[in-house]
Structure 1
């Protein structure tokens, strides 16, 4: 009987590990922006803001997934800004094959104070990608990404 219980326990542990949620969502709050920039360690970084309810974002996320898959050495962070459940966010990220990327979700209201900290000129439109070079200089790209231009930007700034 002990062997059966042990076998079932091992089987359940293996099943749980196989189907465990691989996407790690970190909460993003006011004051987080400097630490995200520091995480780049003076390497160029792309920070992509998107929303589950944004049609352009939904359409483009699989393209981000392919780009990240081909460029695993690049520093790219995704921040989801809509007030939706973590399950909705994870479902969309998984569908886009972005399970292994670095993800944040805005955990408080996405208001002007939060946006101002990131970019004083940003009014909250998505998608938006902020590109920060080695010198800490930021360039904002509003709207869907041109991935050949993004690749060129990383090549130029690496």
Structure 2
């Protein structure tokens, strides 16, 4: 099964540095797509042992559409409630998946992906989309990553 956990502790020092870098990088730029593009590039540089990092954005009320990303070509549209991304968007909470093959209804955009973390982008109570990061390793992400990425998303939301 998958784990949907709510942690509220302070992120580790490495994530503190990442949030500062992200805030500085996006400061003063009002364009959402430029900011999401730079955020995906920065996250791609920050993480090792990943094969995809990017965003899916709400398109209407019932599906996500592919946004800026780093990695191989990906699924273009994901219905709300389907797969890890659609479930995280529908539930409005982070989903940490140690083994994607154990997640009911997992959508395999890249057969190499073995673990995944998805953090919803919520602004003023509205889900704008999700941050999705995949790894070819099982159990790549942990609670520290979840807490840290939730802080990263808080900074990102300020610039969207």
Same fold (TM over 0.5): no
Larger radius of gyration: 1
TM-score by length of 2: 0.29
